[in-house]
Structure 1
Amino acid sequence: MLSEVKDNIPKRLYSLTKKSIFFYLILFAFILLGSILATYFGKSNPKVSESNCISLVCSNPNFMLEKCITSTSPSPVTNPNKISLELWQSEPLKSQFLVKKNPLFINTNSDLSSYIIQLNDSVKYQQIDGFGASLTESSAWLLQYKLSESRRNEIIEELFGDTGLRVSLLRQPMGSTDFSLGFWSYSETANNSNDFELGSFSLKLEEEFIRPMLDKAIKASNGRIKLFASPWSPPAWMKTSQSLIGGSLRKECYDVYADYFVKFLSEYKKKGIEIYGITIQNEPYYEPINYPGMKMTEQEQVEFTRVLVEKIRKYNFNAKILAHDHNFDGVDNAIKIILETKNLTHGAGFHHYNDENWEQLLLRFKDQLPDKDIWMTECGFGNWMGDASEQFHKAIVRQLRTTRYGSKGFIMWNIALDENSKPNVMGDTGSNRGLLQISSKGIDDVKYESLFYALGHFSKFVEKDAFRIDSNTFEQILESVAFLNPDKSVVLILLSRTKYEKNISLEFKGKYFNLNIPPMSATTLKFKID
């Protein structure tokens, strides 16, 4: 029958029919194979399984983001983690500072990122004491007399409280400085007569407003604050100049000046404050002509340090002794003093002025004295560094890089000044800036300087006794520093130093946080993986 049909069909038509049947047989076979494979692997469509979802909980209890992520990696996420995460950014070009934002997204790879920041908490460096500023007499006076009680309490909380900047370091002057209301010490005598028994020693000149503000700060911090103390000058009667300005420490007064330090430590302890560290002289290589100060040669510093340490040990005080307390360019002096005092000091304090090649100078210090520590004990900022945006940028750079180069703490200068950089004993309208500008012309007129927010990017998130951990950095482009807090949360500070936007990935324990970084911005990311 088939042969008859075949014979009745034209040969050309028969050839086409045969090919069509063959084509459909092949097509049917592919469809059947696809169905079998889809059934076997259970993924006949591109829907994302629940195993690829990461639960993300931010510190805001009203914010809960669950984001499902399509992973291109060969091994899907099988055990979802809960990640507590905070993201804070400053964009000075938009006059936006320390704004809390929701993270854009979290992913399991970094395919779309131009920069990858890798964090490794198994590699730890120095332990961090904290970040802060100085509650100078000028700052304390403004807080006490130019703010109402309610506004003052708000400002104290914003600076020191758990909901504020959480300032953890203060450097307290021992007596008057350039930012004081007058000239004074803890041992004032009539006609600068000698007082080797220190019967005149008193903290009474701190009682009116310095002590009340200090007590409020310590209370608000819940014990977080560590205090450094530094003198600008010994009492006038101990000096060759018989003045708080100029002169040097009389040789016969080395012993009584050490007693002066011990008295200071003792009186503060009676008031419930344990001094964490002291320097023997603020900026010992500079002799100011219009505010308290005193030059000390290297040898004078060595000799006095020996006397002071003996006294402190005798009375069982544990305050750390810091050498130098001056600019980066004196690093060789600091090294020499530490070596000559046969390791009686715990390290050195540095100021960030005269800053040429400062990174290399800090590296030299750590190379020669690897068991000694570094603290940034005074880092003032002002109009000589540019406008508010530039000051912010430089403050972030200094905090970030000095900690990368080994510093245990970073202390800015005045907490508060007025619109003319006053009060000060110099009588000028200088260009110094505090964390706050409190107007001298009224009450409760407060401006938050960009330095307030620059400090906050560190102090608010990096806990006392955190460790710096390993992170890579792209100098002059995208710089980073990272810390591991005692509660195992990780803090990463990023600084974009270019005028273009960046997409970056942060790699930590096999997970990637993909973020958008605005131009010329600072970002603080705090997270904890449970």
Structure 2
Amino acid sequence: MEVCLKQSILFLSVLSLQLFCVCCYIPCATREVEYGYVCVCNSTYCDTVPQIEPLSTGQYQIYTTSKNNLGFSSSVGAFSSSSNSTASVQISVANLSDTHQTIIGFGGAFSDSTGINVLSLPEEAQQLLLESYFGEEGLGYTLGRVPIGGTDFSTKAYTYCDGEDLTLEEFTLADEDYSYKLPLIKKAIDLKGDKQLLLLASAWSSPAWTKSTNSIKGSGNLKEEYYDWWAKYFIKFFEAYESNGVIFWAVTTQNEPVQGFLATDVPNLRFSFNNLKTWIKDYFGPTIRNSTFKDLKIVTYDDGRDFLPLLQMVVLSDEEVLEYIDGVGVHWYTDFFIPASFLNYAKSDKKDLFVIGTEASNGFLKFFDLIPPVMLGSWSRGVNYINNIFDDLEYGMAGWIDWNMALDPSGGPTFIDNFVDSPIIVNSTLGEFYKQPMFYALGHFSKFVLPDSVRVTTEVSSGKIRTLAFNRPDNKTVLIISNDSDDDVEVDIVIESISSTINIQSKSINSLLIKL
């Protein structure tokens, strides 16, 4: 009788949560487009994430996004202490104490193009877009990357000291900072409330007159006589943003110092690894640590996986460099031919460094314009994000930052025509924006893998399913489960001594929150 009563109470509590969750969120307004489906938002309507409900011990709440059903659908259920499952696939978390890296967070970049596109919308739609990324009913982004000056996703090349000025007295933020970056950053911070938004700063290029090429556009070496000046330039930037109420968590030593050796029009500075080592230990590191911004996390590299072995050999082996750096930033642009195992080279045997993904975007591989930069509604591009984040987290990465948060239908603006894709595409003519599968793919990680979550070892019996598990700081455990096969899969999920059989839809990503 007592067992039956407990089962009845558990059933009723699960049922009440199911009914509540149906009522407390706004579903996706689905539209079929050229490459699949998007969720459409405008000034009066935008889908949200169903509320995470208080769960009793043994209950779970699962969130699902699938190829043919975008947005977040949610249902609840319960684990039991016995299992008679005949499921063909098993996910096992044998020991919740078998842990790995601690998560810093997930987010996107406040590029000029992001600001231009967000602000091209009606004010109400602007707010809904920002809430979609940073709000309580959105993805809950906790990281934001901020360019120091212009990038390829600006409407022109610029720095904060374009005229020759050795004293930095003429240093001034640009119109783009006041029009695009600062307003959005401040609104994002307000949306976070008492939850932190960690900001990471990265510079693309120094002023033309400090470079060997005498041009902001394209690569060039920083002339050695300006190393000290360039370090002080960063301090001026942090002072200027602080005077506008914005405080940073971290700074990278240079955006793409190695890719800068390629012949492109992207504003950039190139550093050999020996020069990068000198820059960090003799100029950048001491300048930051002897300033009022001494607590900034210093993140080096900020480039692709391909040259991580050389980074480890030359830079991460230098004890003077290690006195200053806290982490290693990695871009995803060479991931299609460089395996995730290369992330092992982002480590040092002399110091514990965090590794964080600092830039990613689909659409950069155009193959002579045969592949469009924007593939509106593409599920496969969402899968690219899912698989890349899985790979990175499995090899110890602590966070992942997307590139542009919003672009126009062409994948811009970009003053060098370097068009790419984005999780949100803005149609300013119609006053609406489109959440692509990429948005929801990244959202499962940013929403449910909270900062200070700790990854837990998992085992899966079939290659059809990928999964990662995390102990969250709110005493819940979350499993991120991906099924990219064409068939639904019945999965027996065993967490230490309890289990439950759950149907994982085809072409889907799922977040399973469990109260243990």
TM-score (norm 2): 0.83
Offset, 1:48: 7.0
Decide which of 88, 94, 97 is 2:63's aligned counterpart: 88
Give 1:381's aligned amino acid.
N
Superposed CA offset, 1:485-527 (max 9, x none): 2111111101113222211122224211220012222111112
Match of 1:257 in 2: 230
Match of 1:391 in 2: 381
2:156 and 2:274 map into 1 onto residues whose CA distance is 31
2:230 and 2:16 map into 1 onto residues whose CA distance is 52
Q: Superposed, which structure 2 residues align to 1:344-363 within 5 Å?
A: 344-355=324-335, 356-363=337-344
Decide which of 463, 466, 479 is 1:492's aligned counterpart: 479
Give 1:313's aligned amino acid.
R
Q: Superposed, which structure 2 residues align to 1:90-489 within 5 Å?
A: 90-92=65-67, 94=68, 96-103=69-76, 106-107=79-80, 108-109=82-83, 111-119=85-93, 120-144=95-119, 146-189=120-163, 193=164, 195-205=165-175, 206-222=177-193, 223-245=195-217, 246-287=219-260, 288-306=263-281, 307-316=283-292, 317-335=294-312, 336-340=314-318, 341-343=320-322, 344-355=324-335, 356-366=337-347, 371-382=352-363, 384=365, 388-427=378-417, 430=419, 432-440=420-428, 442-473=429-460, 476-489=463-476
1:419 and 1:180 map into 2 onto residues whose CA distance is 16
Offset, 1:364: 4.0
Offset, 1:63: 2.9
Label 1:298 to 1:347 Cα distance change in 2 as closer, same or farther (>3 A).
same
Match of 2:36 in 1: none
Give 1:143's aligned amino acid.
V
2:235 and 2:494 map into 1 onto residues whose CA distance is 49
Superposed CA offset, 1:390-416 (max 9, x none): 111111111122111101101111101
Mark the runs of 5 or more structure 2 residues left unpaired by the alignment. Answer: 22-54
SS in 2 for 1:503: strand
Label 1:302 to 1:475 Cα distance change in 2 as closer, same or farther (>3 A).
farther
Kept after mapping to 2: 8 A contact 1:118/1:507:
yes
Superposed CA offset, 1:289-332 (max 9, x none): 32311211111111111111111111142111122111111111
Please, what is the CA RMSD of the aligned residues? 2.5
2:291 and 2:471 map into 1 onto residues whose CA distance is 35
Equivalenced residues, count: 460
Label 1:339 to 1:110 Cα distance change in 2 as closer, same or farther (>3 A).
farther
Match of 1:523 in 2: 510
2:154 and 2:56 map into 1 onto residues whose CA distance is 53
Label 1:326 to 1:122 Cα distance change in 2 as closer, same or farther (>3 A).
same
Offset, 1:474: 5.2
Give 2:240's aligned amino acid.
E
Offset, 1:370: 6.9
SS in 2 for 1:416: coil
Superposed CA offset, 1:149-201 (max 9, x none): 11111111111001101111111111111111111112221xxx2x2221111
SS in 2 for 1:380: coil
SS in 2 for 1:339: coil
Mark the runs of 5 or more structure 1 residues left unpaired by the alignment. Answer: 1-41, 66-79
2:148 and 2:306 map into 1 onto residues whose CA distance is 25
1:425 and 1:273 map into 2 onto residues whose CA distance is 27
Give 2:343's aligned amino acid.
L
Identity of aligned residues (%): 26
1:184 and 1:334 map into 2 onto residues whose CA distance is 29
SS in 1 for 2:121: coil
Offset, 1:435: 1.6
Kept after mapping to 2: 8 A contact 1:323/1:338:
no
Kept after mapping to 2: 8 A contact 1:86/1:100:
no
2:154 and 2:474 map into 1 onto residues whose CA distance is 39
SS in 2 for 1:121: coil
SS in 1 for 2:250: strand
User: For the pair shown, which has the larger CA radius of gyration, 1 or 2?
Assistant: 1
